[in-house]
């Protein structure tokens, strides 16, 4: 099947990217650092919150496009642990925006068989936000289509600390003095347990940083940085990033002809990626 059968191009640019896209080699997990809402607003002499509103529109379009292309998993970095340092009014606005978004979009998300997941220290979020998230996750729990993962009050190092503490609790509770952790054990204790690692990480607004996002999981991800500010990250820009991803040669530390990672530190030593055997198809 061609991608243009999944997605109707709105213009010539989209049609050209769609033509180049191989639907069988799309990422299994696309992770996105949405950056530049504030700058987008400043350039228009608008308040920062106008940038966030425009950012929600861009997020909606990306979610819809990924779902139509049947991407298995999309993760959006919506609020970091560090974002509490912003002015209280902006933080409050972002929380309100998220609740508004869930209220408005949940029926569409559900209708499209999308499963919503939230990762991060959600116990520190305002009670009303936690309630809405829990309801949305419950409502979509049985959906079998794309997993939409929203990183909220998320930090990569905090996630690793939480995973190590969960492991230590397990060891203490079971008196496992000889216990040793391997890569799989650690992955299984991350917020993203059970999800494939991202194979593509997109960051908007030109910054060359990973900003404490999915530090463990992006070990082998392709990184795509675009100058576009998040509110300008249109469907065409997403398709362009996917086309670029498909041009990359993925070697996992091996040679061009090697399929899969050369050595897996989890001890299986079978030359396949430790957690995602399906990746070996892509080299």
Q: Residue 167 is encoded by which pair of tokens?
A: 């492991």
Residue 57 neighbours by CB under 8 Å, 6+ apart: 231
Residue reference for tokens 């997109």 = 202
Which of residues 18, 21, 32, 35 is near ligand FPP by CB under 6 A? 35
Cβ 16 to ligand FPP shortest distance, Å: 27
Stretch in the footprint of ligand FPP (CB under 6 A) among 8-16, 30-38, 107-115, 159-167:
30-38
Stretch in the footprint of ligand FPP (CB under 6 A) among 28-36, 216-224, 233-241, 253-261:
28-36
Strand pairing report for 115-119 and 147-154: parallel
Q: Three-state DSSP class for 158? A: helix
Binding of residue 196 to ligand FPP (CB under 6 A)? no
- In this complex, which beta carbon is closest to ligand FPP, that of residue 37 or of residue 187? 37
* Residue 63, CA distances (Å) to 18, 28, 32 in order: 17, 14, 11
Q: Name which of 209, 188, 269 is nearest 77 in CA terms.
A: 209
Q: Are 130 and 123 in contact (CB under 8 A)?
A: yes
Binding of residue 150 to ligand FPP (CB under 6 A)? yes
Binding of residue 149 to ligand FPP (CB under 6 A)? no
Binding of residue 78 to ligand FPP (CB under 6 A)? yes
Binding of residue 213 to ligand FPP (CB under 6 A)? no
Which of residues 17, 18, 27, 37 is near ligand FPP by CB under 6 A? 37
| Catalytic annotation present for 270 | no
Among the listed residues 11, 22, 37, 83, the single catalytic one is 83
- In this complex, which beta carbon is closest to ligand FPP, that of residue 14 or of residue 105? 105
Which of residues 27, 36, 120, 196 is near ligand FPP by CB under 6 A? 36
Binding of residue 231 to ligand FPP (CB under 6 A)? no
Strand pairing report for 29-33 and 73-80: parallel
Kindly report the length of the chain. 283
| Catalytic annotation present for 83 | yes
Q: Bridge-partner residues for 119, per DSSP?
A: 151
CB atoms within 10 A of CB 263: 14
Residue 45 φ/ψ region, left for φ over 0, alpha for ψ in the -120 to 50 degree band, beta for the rest: left
Binding of residue 151 to ligand FPP (CB under 6 A)? no
- In this complex, which beta carbon is closest to ligand FPP, that of residue 96 or of residue 263? 96
Binding of residue 55 to ligand FPP (CB under 6 A)? yes
Residue 16 neighbours by CB under 8 Å, 6+ apart: none
* Residue 190, CA distances (Å) to 91, 158, 184, 197, 254 in order: 26, 10, 10, 11, 26
Binding of residue 101 to ligand FPP (CB under 6 A)? yes
Binding of residue 129 to ligand FPP (CB under 6 A)? no
Number of residues that bind ligand FPP (CB under 6 A): 19
Distance CA 201, CA 218 (A): 8
Distance CA 129, CA 56 (A): 17
Which of residues 7, 21, 30, 34 is near ligand FPP by CB under 6 A? 34
Binding of residue 76 to ligand FPP (CB under 6 A)? yes
Residues that bind ligand FPP (CB under 6 A): 34-39, 52, 55-56, 59, 76, 78, 83, 94, 97-98, 101, 150, 230
Residues marked active site are found at 35, 83
């Amino acid at each position: 099947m061609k991608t243009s059968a999944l997605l109707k191009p709105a213009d010539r640019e989209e049609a050209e990217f769609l033509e180049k896209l191989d639907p069988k080699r799309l990422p299994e997990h696309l992770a996105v650092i949405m950056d530049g809402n504030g700058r987008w607003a400043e350039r228009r002499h608008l308040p920062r919150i106008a940038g966030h509103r425009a950012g929600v529109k861009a997020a909606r379009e990306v979610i819809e496009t990924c779902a139509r292309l049947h991407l298995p998993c999309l993760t959006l970095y919506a609020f970091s642990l560090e974002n509490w340092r912003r002015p209280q009014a902006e933080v409050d606005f972002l929380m309100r925006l998220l609740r508004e978004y869930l209220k408005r979009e949940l029926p569409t998300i559900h209708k499209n068989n999308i499963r919503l997941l939230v990762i991060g220290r959600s116990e520190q979020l305002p009670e009303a936000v936690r309630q809405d998230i829990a309801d949305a996750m419950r409502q979509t729990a049985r959906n079998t289509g794309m997993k939409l993962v929203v990183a909220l009050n998320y930090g990569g190092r905090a996630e690793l600390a939480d995973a190590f503490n969960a492991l230590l609790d397990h060891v203490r509770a079971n008196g496992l003095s000889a216990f040793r952790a391997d890569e799989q054990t650690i992955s299984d204790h991350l917020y993203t347990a059970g999800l494939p690692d991202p194979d593509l990480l997109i960051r908007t607004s030109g910054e060359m940083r990973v900003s404490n996002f999915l530090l463990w999981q992006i070990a082998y991800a392709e990184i795509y940085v675009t100058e576009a500010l998040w509110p300008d990250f249109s469907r065409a820009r997403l398709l362009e990033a996917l086309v670029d991803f498909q041009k990359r040669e993925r070697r996992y530390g091996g040679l061009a002809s090697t399929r899969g990672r050369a050595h897996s530190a989890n001890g299986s030593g079978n030359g396949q990626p430790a957690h995602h055997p399906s990746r070996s198809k892509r080299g």
